[in-house]
A and B are shown apart, each in its own frame.
Chain A
Amino acid sequence: MELIIFYLAAVVAVGGGLMMIMQRNPVASVLYLIVTLVAIAVMFVQLNAVFVGALLIIVYAGAILVLFLFVIMLLNLRGEKFAEKRTRLDRPTRIILAVAFILELLAMFKQVAFPGRMDELMVQASPDFGGARPVAELLYTKYLFPFELTSILLLVAIVGAVVMARRDEKDKKRGI
């Protein structure tokens, strides 16, 4: 049963990801991304990392993608208007990126695919690893400094938003 759900979630996640990049309509892309995220959340739950799963939904599906949608609507990107503009550098860039990505994947496979290598790499996690309490116990003790740094990061985000909003206003006043 667990295996069935895992494969189902995996197929949905990969399929959603593929559909996301193959869509022309940006809103549909966002919807497929939500599907992918939910499927990944299901996988996290299967790994007993329930808190991480919930987090994925709350932050990514519930907040960041809403922001994406807002941007898409603000820029008024509708299907047909989103037609791509090709430049001469497009094709070589794409090929280089694709090759680099495939090489990366191969390197990763090489890491894990050798017999016995996988067992070496795997670490036995405690059964409730990824639950809220274990996360808290690590985050607020061992990883305290990164945690506090996050607040600075978020602060930068706020300041950035404020600056952008202000600039828009100035533009409006000048009549641009």
Chain B
Amino acid sequence: MSEYLAVLVFLGVGIGMVLFTFFLARLIRPAHPYKAKNQSYESAEKPIGDAWVQFNNRFYIFALMFVVFDVEAVFLFPWAVAFGQLGLYALIEMVIFIAVLLFGLLYAWKKGVLKWV
């Protein structure tokens, strides 16, 4: 358990470091904001329209695929370390599991969802 405590200490030191640098920088840097400076960057032109543009919903599909296959990867982790004890039986199980998911991947592939347009 003490090992995990060290991670917490590490996290604390990391956050402390960031806050300290920000604080230090705040002390010494200049601050002269004015309207034109605080405009969003748009190649030195006045920004047109809202910055929150609509984007391709393809991104959402990829995020969904990612969740599915991330879960699969997570199932593989314990399987991998316990493989020595579990043996052939486990391999067959995992092949079935992966085959089902690969079928899904193939389906998405064939339907052209994985193609970027």
A 52-86 contacts with B by CB, 8 A:
55, 58-59, 62-64, 66-67, 70-71, 73-74, 76, 78
Once A and B bind, how many residue pairs between them come within 8 Å at the CB atom? Answer: 133
Q: Is the interface of B mostly helix, strand, loop or mixed?
A: helix
Question: Which of A74, A78, A133, A148 meets B78, CB within 8 Å?
Answer: A133
Total interface residues in chain B, CB < 8 Å: 45
Pick the interface stretch among B27-35, B36-44, B69-77.
B69-77
B60 on interface, CB distance cutoff 8 Å: yes
B17 on interface, CB distance cutoff 8 Å: no
Do residues B79 and A157 form an inter-chain contact, with CB atoms below 8 A?
no
Contacts of A105 in B (CB 8 A): none
A 130-164 contacts with B by CB, 8 A:
132-133, 135-137, 139-141, 144, 147-148, 150-152, 154-155, 157-159, 161-162, 164
Q: How far apart sit A108 and B10, CA to CA, in the bound complex (Å)?
A: 38
Do residues A137 and B104 form an inter-chain contact, with CB atoms below 8 A?
no
CB distance from A74 to the nearest CB of B (A): 5
B interface with A by C-beta (< 8 Å): 1, 4-5, 8, 52, 54-55, 57-61, 63-68, 70-72, 74-75, 77-79, 81-82, 85-86, 89-90, 93, 96-98, 100-101, 103-105, 107-108, 111, 113
A interface with B by C-beta (< 8 Å): 1-2, 5, 45-46, 48, 50-51, 55, 58-59, 62-64, 66-67, 70-71, 73-74, 76, 78, 132-133, 135-137, 139-141, 144, 147-148, 150-152, 154-155, 157-159, 161-162, 164-166, 168
